[in-house]
Structure 1
Amino acid sequence: MYITVTTFNKYHGPKPLVLDGIVKLVKDPKNAYDAEAIECEMRYFGKIGYIANSTNTVVKGTMSAGRIYDKISDEYFAKIKFIVGNVAIAKVLTSDEFIAEVENPESDVNFLCDNPNAIKLMEE
Structure 2
Amino acid sequence: MGEKIYTRDHEWLDITDGVATIGVTEFAQEQLGDVVFVDLPEVGALLTEGDEVAVIESVKAAGEVNTPLSGTVVGVNEALVEEPELLNSSPQKDGWMFKLALDEGYDISKLMNESDYQDYISANA
TM (norm. structure 2) is 0.27
Structure whose residues are more often helix by fraction: 2
TM (norm. structure 1) is 0.27
